[in-house]
Amino acid sequence: MKRLKKSITIATVALSMSLAAGFAAATSEATLAKVPADAVGLTNPVEADEDAIKMVMKKAYKKKCKKCHGSKGNGKGPGAKGMEPPPPDWTAGSPATDGQLYWLTMNGSKDTEMKGWKAGIAKKGKEISEEEGWIMVHIIRGFEK
């Protein structure tokens, strides 16, 4: 029994170490936990249409997200210098569900520099539509190398 307990502890430590190493610059558990339960499992209702993605990339991502998230989505935009927590590195993929990426895009991550972009939170004229929010999820997934 004692032995089993010990090996479970070792396995747990090894797993959390590999997770920490693998996702060092990925979205933290604390950030993901900010998303309400009913938003986590939402599936992307907007198709990954190449033209729409290009348009949102040009019209919204480059103008509103790139300065922090970087043109390649690696979190190294000029505006991200010294930011704590820093923007995530999406080139290694994201542990977030589509619903979590969408909710955090629209509502922001409380107590960080990531402000929400939906109407009522973003500055007037800067907000993005629900459709653009879901297209952002396709854009974020597209950064994965």
> Which residues of this chain interact with ligand HEC, rule CB under 6 A?
27-28, 31, 60, 64-65, 67-69, 79, 83, 85-88, 94, 96, 101, 104-105, 109, 112-114, 117, 128, 136
Nearer to ligand HEC, 12 or 142 (CB): 142
Nearer to ligand HEC, 9 or 24 (CB): 24
Question: Rounded to the nearest whole angstrom, what is the least distance from the CB of residue 13 to ligand HEC in the complex?
Answer: 24
Nearer to ligand HEC, 17 or 126 (CB): 126
Question: Rounded to the nearest whole angstrom, what is the least distance from the CB of residue 60 to ligand HEC in the complex?
Answer: 6
Specify the amino acid at residue 141.
R
- Measured between alpha carbons, how far is 105 from 135 in angstroms, rounded to an integer? 11
Nearer to ligand HEC, 53 or 101 (CB): 101
- Measured between alpha carbons, how far is 93 from 132 in angstroms, rounded to an integer? 20
Nearer to ligand HEC, 4 or 107 (CB): 107
CB 26 within 8 A of CB 87: no
